[in-house]
Structures are given as structure tokens and as C-alpha cells.
């Protein structure tokens, strides 16, 4: 080992010794305050990052009657999971028919979710609405908080895969969608996109939807599956995003997996909220959390370590007097600052994991939504990377303060 490397190792060991000595002895309030500041920033980033991961994860649409969701296995490519924008299921009508023939299953329906532009020709209002295509039965069920009773049972337009059967044109609107479109029961709506541009919908019912985000109710519409497929170009391969299955028999899950290979069959409690679109909202939330943690942590640690340097001027001057160069003293301060931020990262990670669990408990208890946030090992790496960046940037200020002090004047 060269002399230079041994010298650097000695400075690092001294920095760690100074940090641990001041942390557990003497006046350590400023160090503990710095650690607490970093811990708070990392906790905030971890909790919000967990929520963004939950929002970004593949999930299922709400239905009070559903016990299982069948979704594509995104990690594999198969003939059944059709990949268009995101993995989709294929041949969903035939699979649903097979599920319906099982006496243990009360109800099963594919769901195709697409954002479509609908317009009201009478008023000229045109808005993008979240449209869910389903296969209703003869009972009054609730999917995305909207009743299916006003929709004709079955899927007439599908016509055994020819897509030339009767077009029902029935649509159930949420109150939010009806308000945006200035529509009511009996209003005719025209789709502005899709291959079947000559088709229209007639509002068969308007109901209050429970499908909401943090900023209010989501404008949604419920239509027949084949009609949603025709408007969104999903007729090829008979595509849908997921299949909802209502049953009281837990053994059904294994049978579904064998019937529909390379898909995931997930229980109701295993899902976060449905990802409404392919927007970058989860990414924006995560980036915002990282930037907030970085800025808050850097400013707080820089201020507290600056005060620490001012109180330790005599000690730094002594090091200069016994031969420690300016660069060695700077490295010493960087090591101490990094020790503070890494300690804060460890504490903050623990608090952040607790924050994720608390978020899931509260949202399930008060909102009825399970697993809105989830933990991923990537959050651990992100926490330590951010803490190192905080330490490096925050150390600039205490290093600058140490260079301003004249060792001779301090020791006098």
C-alpha cells in the first residue's frame, strides 16, 4: 500500500472516529439534528416512492363482487397475453364462457379499459372519458362503482367473434362524466376516435361512481365489451386488460391458472388501485419526492454542519498545526458529513418502511383500498444514493467555512 493511500485511509479513520466520538459524547445536538433532518427527508422519499410504485404497478379495476383478477403476466410473452401498448389478454370471450360454465363461479367478465374521446352533438361538449368495456349479466352488479343493470345482458355485438351483431349503444356514465359532457339519461354521445366512427352511444343511466383520485371523481363510462373493443381497435385477438371473477371457492384460482396459462390470478386484497392511463404521474411523484428529499436534506445538513465547524474551529486549527494539510482537513469534513447523511439514511429507511405500512393500513381502513403503496429494494438503493449526494453537496459549505478560518488566530 502506497504512502498516499495509507494517508487517505488514516484521514478517513480519523473522520469516522471524530464523528462517533462527538455523536455519543459531549454536545452532540447538532449532529443528531443533522441525522434527524436527513432521516425525515429519506422517510418522505421512501414513503412517497412506495406510493408511486403502487400507482405504477399493474393492477385491477374495482368491483364489489370480485374475488379474483386475471391479468397478463408482464414478464412473459405468450400467444394468450397480447402485447399492445401494455400486455393484454386474448381470446377473452371463450375463456369467460368456460369460467361461466363452472358452477363454483358466480360471475366472470373481461374488462377492457381505454380513454376515449366522447362528444355530445347537442351541446358540442367533447371530453376524454375512461371507458370500461364489460359483459354484464342479468343481475345488478357494480363495476368501477357503476351499476350494470341498465346494460343488456351478454355482449350482442360480439356475435361469436364476427363483431357484426346488434350494436346496443348503451352506456352508463358517472356523474362526473355526465357533467363534463352535459349529458343525462337518453342523451346520444358520439365517439371521436376508433375504427367504428359511425357508431354512437345512448346514455342508459347516470350514477355516482366510487372511482376517484386524490383530486376528485374520475369521469368514467361503462359499455359492452365488444363495443369498446370495436372503438379502440382491440377486436383482433379478442383483447381485454383483465378478467374479473366472483366466487366463494378458493380452489378456483388454481383452475383458472391452468385454464389460462402465463397469467397472474390475484386475490382482491393483493392489488393496488387501477392504473388509469399510461401517464407519467407515478414517475413525476417519484422524481418530486427525490428532489424534495435532496434539497431539504442538503440545506439542513449544510447549515447544521456549518454550525458544527464553527464550534470545532479549535480542533481543526490543532490539526492544521500538527501538519494536516488543507486538503486533508477538507476530506475529514467530507467523511464526517457523509457519516451523518448515511446514518440518517438508515434511520429514514426504517421510518419510510413504517410509513408505507401505515399508508396501506389507513387507506384500507378509511378508503377501502388495499396496498396503495408497496416496498421495493430499489427504494433502499435510492435512499443511499440520495444520502451520498446530500453529503457531498452539503459538505461544500462546512469545507468553505473551515478554509476561511486562520489556524494561528484561532489558537491564540
- Predicted confidence at residue 361, as pLDDT, reads 86
Half-sphere exposure of 273 (CA within 13 A, CB side): 23
Distance of CA 286 to the CA centre of its chain: 8
Lowest mean pLDDT among 84-98, 142-156, 230-244: 84-98
Q: What is the mean pLDDT of residues 371-386?
A: 87
The answer to whether 127 and 120 are in contact (CB under 8 A) is no
How many CB atoms lie under 10 A from the CB of residue 77? Answer: 12
Find all residues with CB under 8 Å of 352, minimum gap 6, and list them: 42, 43, 44, 45, 46, 47, 49, 50, 379, 383
- Predicted confidence at residue 275, as pLDDT, reads 40
- Predicted confidence at residue 75, as pLDDT, reads 39
Angle between helices 281-311 and 326-366 (to 10 degrees): 140
> Which one of 19-33, 50-64, 240-254, 377-391 scores highest in mean pLDDT?
377-391
pLDDT grade, residue 281 (50/70/90)? low
Higher pLDDT, 121 or 24: 121
> Which one of 29-43, 159-173, 181-195, 267-281 scores highest in mean pLDDT?
159-173
Higher pLDDT, 151 or 259: 151
Q: What is the mean pLDDT of residues 151-157?
A: 95
Distance of CA 219 to the CA centre of its chain: 20
DSSP bridge partners of 265: 70
pLDDT at 389 over 90: yes
386-to-38, 330, 338, 380, 391 alpha-carbon distances in Å:
10, 21, 11, 10, 9
pLDDT grade, residue 271 (50/70/90)? very low
- Using DSSP bridges, classify how beta strands 242-247 and 263-267 pair: parallel, antiparallel or unpaired: unpaired
Half-sphere exposure of 45 (CA within 13 A, CB side): 33
Higher pLDDT, 229 or 266: 229
pLDDT grade, residue 309 (50/70/90)? confident
pLDDT at 314 over 50: yes
All cell numbers assigned to 170? 348503451
Give tens-digit pLDDT for 66-92. 577 787 765 343 333 333 455 778 899
- Predicted confidence at residue 211, as pLDDT, reads 61
Q: CB burial class (10 A; 0-12, 13-18, 19+) of residue 210?
A: middle
The answer to whether 100 and 138 are in contact (CB under 8 A) is no
Q: What is the DSSP string of 211-252?
A: -EETTEE--EEEEEHHHHHHHHT-TTTT-BSEEEEEES-TTH
d(CA 348, CA 68): 36
Instruction: Kindly report the average pLDDT of the chain as a whole number.
Output: 81
Lowest mean pLDDT among 300-304, 312-316, 364-368: 364-368
The answer to whether 47 and 286 are in contact (CB under 8 A) is no
- Predicted confidence at residue 348, as pLDDT, reads 94
Give tens-digit pLDDT for 198-235. 789 999 999 987 665 544 567 899 999 999 999 988 89
115-145 CB burial, b ≥16 within 10 A, e <16: ebebbbeeeeeebebbbbbbbbbeeebbbbb
> For residue 187, which of 173, 197, 168, 198 has the smallest C-alpha distance?
173
Give tens-digit pLDDT for 47-64. 988 888 776 654 444 454
pLDDT grade, residue 276 (50/70/90)? very low
Helix (H, G, I), strand (E, B) or coil at 314: helix
pLDDT at 368 over 70: no
- Predicted confidence at residue 325, as pLDDT, reads 77
pLDDT grade, residue 140 (50/70/90)? confident
pTM of the model: 0.53
Integer Rg of the chain from CA? 30
d(CA 74, CA 84): 12
d(CA 368, CA 64): 11
Amino acid at each position: 500500500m502506497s504512502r498516499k493511500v495509507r494517508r487517505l485511509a488514516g484521514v478517513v479513520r480519523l473522520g469516522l472516529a471524530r464523528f462517533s466520538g462527538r455523536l455519543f459524547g459531549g454536545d452532540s445536538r447538532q449532529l443528531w439534528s443533522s441525522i434527524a433532518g436527513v432521516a425525515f427527508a429519506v422517510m418522505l422519499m421512501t414513503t412517497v416512492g412506495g406510493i408511486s410504485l403502487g400507482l405504477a404497478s399493474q393492477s385491477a379495476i374495482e368491483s364489489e363482487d370480485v374475488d379474483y383478477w386475471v391479468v397478463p403476466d408482464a414478464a412473459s410473452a405468450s400467444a394468450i397475453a397480447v402485447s399492445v401498448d401494455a400486455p393484454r389478454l386474448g381470446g377473452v370471450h371463450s375463456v369467460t364462457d368456460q369460467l361461466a360454465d363452472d358452477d363454483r363461479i358466480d360471475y366472470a367478465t373481461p374488462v377492457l379499459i381505454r380513454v376515449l374521446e366522447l362528444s355530445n352533438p347537442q351541446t358540442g361538449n367533447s371530453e376524454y372519458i375512461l371507458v370500461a368495456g364489460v359483459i354484464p349479466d342479468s343481475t345488478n352488479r357494480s363495476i368501477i362503482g357503476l351499476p350494470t343493470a341498465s346494460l343488456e345482458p351478454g355482449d350482442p355485438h360480439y356475435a361469436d367473434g364476427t363483431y357484426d351483431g346488434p350494436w346496443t349503444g348503451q352506456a352508463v356514465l358517472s356523474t362526473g362524466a355526465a357533467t363534463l359532457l352535459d349529458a343525462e339519461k337518453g342523451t346520444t354521445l358520439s365517439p371521436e376516435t376508433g375504427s367504428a366512427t359511425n357508431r354512437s352511444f345512448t346514455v342508459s343511466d347516470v350514477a355516482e361512481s366510487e372511482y376517484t383520485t386524490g383530486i376528485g371523481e374520475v369521469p368514467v363510462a361503462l359499455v359492452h365489451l365488444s363495443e369498446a373493443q370495436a372503438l379502440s381497435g382491440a377486436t383482433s385477438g379478442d383483447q381485454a386488460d383483465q378478467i374479473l371473477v366472483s366466487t366463494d371457492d378458493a380452489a378456483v384460482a388454481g383452475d383458472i391458472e391452468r385454464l389460462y396459462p402465463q397469467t397472474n390470478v390475484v386475490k382482491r386484497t393483493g392489488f393496488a388501485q387501477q392504473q388509469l392511463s399510461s401517464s407519467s404521474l407515478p414517475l413525476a411523484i417519484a422524481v418530486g419526492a427525490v428532489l424534495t428529499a435532496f434539497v431539504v436534506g442538503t440545506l439542513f445538513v449544510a447549515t447544521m454542519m456549518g454550525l458544527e465547524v464553527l464550534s470545532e474551529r479549535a480542533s481543526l486549527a490543532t490539526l492544521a498545526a500538527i501538519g494536516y494539510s488543507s486538503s486533508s482537513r477538507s476530506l475529514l469534513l467530507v467523511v464526517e458529513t457523509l457519516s451523518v447523511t448515511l446514518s440518517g439514511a438508515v434511520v429514514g429507511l426504517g421510518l419510510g418502511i413504517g410509513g408505507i405500512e401505515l399508508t396501506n393500513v389507513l387507506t384500507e381502513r378509511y378508503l377501502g383500498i388495499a396496498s396503495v403503496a408497496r416496498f421495493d429494494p430499489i427504494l433502499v438503493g435510492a435512499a443511499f444514493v440520495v444520502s451520498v449526494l446530500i453529503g457531498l453537496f452539503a459538505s461544500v459549505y462546512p469545507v468553505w467555512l473551515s478554509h476561511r478560518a486562520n489556524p494561528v488566530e484561532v489558537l491564540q
